[in-house]
Structures are given as structure tokens and as C-alpha cells.
Structure 1
Amino acid sequence: MARDATGRIRGPRSDRARNRRRLLDAARAAFIEDGPKVSIEAVARRAGVGTTTFFRHFPTKSDLVDAMLDDLAEGVRAGALTDPWAAFTLIFEEGCVLVPEDLLLFDTLGRHSPRSAEAARQATAAIVEPHVRRALAAGALRPDVTAEDIAALMRMADQAGPARPTALRVLLRGLRVAA
């Protein structure tokens, strides 16, 4: 962060923030159309910036993938639900992102490299953790599972393709403590 004339720390310049957002939006569209193999040059061109600007924001393509995973995971809304099991169920069923197209992109980017797999795992566990704690505290979730277990089960269900809704239902039944 830079300091202004009075010595106060100021946020990023508006053009810097705008360019970062343009790059992320362009990367999202490019990754959906072409997958993670899309070139840095193609993302920069789609964003209307040069590759130098790209590299100022994302020193490597892996940095872009990590930023995309974070960006996709930001829309989670289960915290607004007061019932711990309902919030847990929403996160478990919808994943870390709310739009099915984004869930597919999150899953695809999470398989881009070992580094992106770890970034996706960490993002999922960080989002799931508070909902797991709430459900455990309410006695609704089996006490022998962790946020890491839940994140792994979510990834397994995502691999079920068209059978995903059935897999989620079966898993949720096994995770819930009988009333």
C-alpha cells in the first residue's frame, strides 16, 4: 500500500482495482470457454490490457487461478440462515459458489495443478468450517467429522456428475445426527 502526502496509508488506485476486476472477469469468461489452458495473452487481450498489466496483478498464471478460486468463493450466503443445519445443508449442497456454472469452473480450476488443488481445498475448508462448528455445537452434525472431511465429501459429490443430487442427499443423511 502506498502512503499519501500526509503519511496515511491509502488503498489501491481506482484504475488498479478496475484493471484487476477486468482481468478476473476476462479470466472467468476465458476459463469457461477455453478451460484453464487459455493463455495469459488471451486473458489480457480480453480484458483490454497489456500483458505487463496482467503480470503486475498476477505474477504467474497460478496466481490468477488462485485469485479466481477466491473470487468464485466470495458469494456464499449461508451465514444469514439462523438454523445451523439449514446453513450447513446449503453450503454442502451448493458448494462454495452459488451458480452451477461457477461451481463447475471452481472444480475445473481446482484441478489445474497441485497448487490450485490445495488453494481450492483451503477455500472450501475455510468456508465450510464455521458452518461445521455451528452444526456440531447444535448437535445436528455427527461429532466425528471435521471441516476437512466435509470439504472432501463435497469434492467427491461434485465428481458424481448427474448423480450429484442423489449423492448429496445420501451423504447428508449419513452426516446428520438422528433427532
Structure 2
Amino acid sequence: MDLLHEIRSMIFLAAGFMTILSAVMIIFFDHLLHAAISLFFTLIGIALLYILLGADFLGVSQVLIYAGGVLVLIIFGIFLTTPFVDDGREVRKSFSTWVTIFFGFLLFRLLYRLIHHVPWVIEEQKVSPTTKRIGEMFLSEYLLPFELISFILLFVLIGSILIIRKDLRKP
């Protein structure tokens, strides 16, 4: 049991390090596609952290919605737009980078003080899967809101198709 706990802790630290490193790399990449790929690794790392903390449904949702759907949309947006060339880009990029680093340092300092000055009580928690319980709740207690949201999403999809078809008909 102790070896399993150590392996789980090492995987958790590796996932946290990957998440932080890829999030910092987003700031420093000049090419948007490289930043989007780094964002993908950040989102996957966050999903892995959710899963390791026992929120398996949230982790899988993170992968499907953000890493799968939103990031693909961002990459298509990058590929389908024309590159914009700006002469003052380097000055703003370096200024925004330093501002981001400054606020990141302030946040890190705040978190460091919070972590080291709060008396934490550490107890071993039993991790149990949450997906089955959430599915049961969707089909029992929250059936009506779940179905209403599905109809709203269906109407949004139909409306977006109608808007696109009107735009395609115009010469």
C-alpha cells in the first residue's frame, strides 16, 4: 500500500510539473500553434490532476470538452485566419510578458505564504468513482434540467445552421 501511495504521489507531482511548465510555455511561444499545443498539454495535465484527486467525471469532462473540443476549435481558428503582421508586436509582447511574470510572481508568493502559514490537517481520503453517481443523478433527480439543457443546445445548433445557410446564399 505504501508503494502504491508513493507512485501515486510521484505521478501527481509529475502531472503538476507538466501542467505548470506547459502553462508557462504558453506565455513564451511566439507561434500561435505552438502555444495551442502547449495549452493542450496544460489541459491534459489538469485533467490528470482531477482524476488523481478522485474527480474522475470532471477529469474526463476536461479532456472531452476543453482538450478535445475547444482546443480543436482554437486550432481551426488559427489555420483559417490570415496571419496579422504588426510592427509594434515585439514591444507589446515583451511588456505583456513581464507584466504576466510579475503578477505570476505575486500569485506564487501569496500561495507560498498561504501554504506555509496555514495549519493543514492531512488525512488519507478514500477515493471512489463519481461517474456512476452523477449518471444516476442525471437520470433521476436532475432529469428535467438535463433534458431542458439538451433541447436548448439543439435549438442553438439549428439556429447556427440557419444563420450559416443564410450567409452562404448571399452573393
Using structure 1 for the length normalisation, give the TM-score: 0.24
Instruction: Name the structure where helix makes up a greater proportion of residues.
Output: 2
Indicate the structure (1 or 2) with the bigger Cα radius of gyration. 2
